[in-house]
Copies of this chain bind each other. A is one copy, B any other.
Amino acid sequence: MKERLDLREDILRIIAAHSGAIGQGAINLLLRKQGVLISMPTVGRRLQELEFEGFVAKAGIEGRVLTDRGRHALKRFDAEARLRVSGAALLDTLRRGDRKHLLDLLAARRVIEAEAAALAATHVSPNAIAKMDGILSRQAAGVARGETGLEEDIAFHREIARASRNEVLCSLVALLRQHRRYNLIVNSIRAAVGSRMVVDHARILAALKARDPHAARAAMDRHLRTLAADLNRYLGRWSPDGGVRGR
């Protein structure tokens, strides 16, 4: 069901690109030129389906043309495809774990989460503040016990993003936080950053409680700046060239 939809999309695209009507043979050749190697009968079958669904119509004898509905569907497909491609590109960038990309990632997180923190300062609910208080004290207790506090860190940042009431920022924070290698590294340097992370978070939370957007933004900015500096030092220590072995 998946790749067939893909094939049909390709066929629609070819028909749209071609001026005038076009038939199975020519479509087959063009598909082949695109690297899609299918037989002509299959193209015919897909064409029958597309015709049945009203996306193409027979134009006399010399082949088929797009209907308005087909053009419309294709436009929607294109938009979806562009979205998917952009998303995939971002995911690929996020998957990479070399030094520069980790720092790039942190720089992006810094501006995004700083804005989220500023917004949160004006929009946060008492309920959310209570939740953050709980997270923070759990994190402090965990770090004191020698744990990493990673879970609480993630939860804290997520709560702030959620409190910003900006769904796009919230989604972005969630997405950018899904980086395995980054989490691993924070794990490794937790001895250095664990306790300071709690202090940083407390400062952010205090700004939220004071409903001071400026202070919240500054606190979050500083938090992620120092994290980036730590990361940079850590990576520099183990691999000056920036090519830490990851996979």
Q: How many copies are assembled?
A: 2
Q: How many Å lie between the Cα of A2 and that of B83 in the bound state?
A: 21
Give every chain B residue within 8 A of A172 (Cβ-Cβ): 90, 108, 172
Which of A8-16, A24-32, A174-182 lines the interface with chain B? A174-182
Q: Are B83 and A168 within 8 A (Cβ)? A: no
Main secondary structure of the interface of A (DSSP, over half): helix
Q: How many Å lie between the Cα of A178 and that of B89 in the bound state?
A: 13
Nearest-neighbour CB distance to chain B for A192, whole angstroms, equals: 24
Q: Are A171 and B93 within 8 A (Cβ)? A: yes
The residue on B at minimum CB distance from A115 is B111
Q: Are B79 and A178 within 8 A (Cβ)? A: yes
Give every chain B residue within 8 A of A168 (Cβ-Cβ): 90, 93-94, 101, 104-105, 107-108, 176
Give every chain B residue within 8 A of A2 (Cβ-Cβ): 2-3
Q: Are B169 and A108 within 8 A (Cβ)? A: yes
Q: Would you mind naming 23 contact pairs between A and B with Cβ atoms under 8 Å apart?
A: A79-B178, A79-B180, A82-B178, A83-B175, A83-B178, A86-B174, A86-B175, A87-B87, A87-B175, A89-B175, A90-B172, A90-B175, A101-B168, A104-B169, A107-B115, A107-B119, A107-B169, A108-B115, A111-B111, A111-B112, A111-B114, A168-B176, A172-B172
A interface residues (Cβ-Cβ under 8 A, vs B): 2-3, 79, 82-84, 86-87, 89-91, 93-95, 101, 104-105, 107-108, 111-112, 114-115, 119, 166-169, 171-172, 174-178, 180
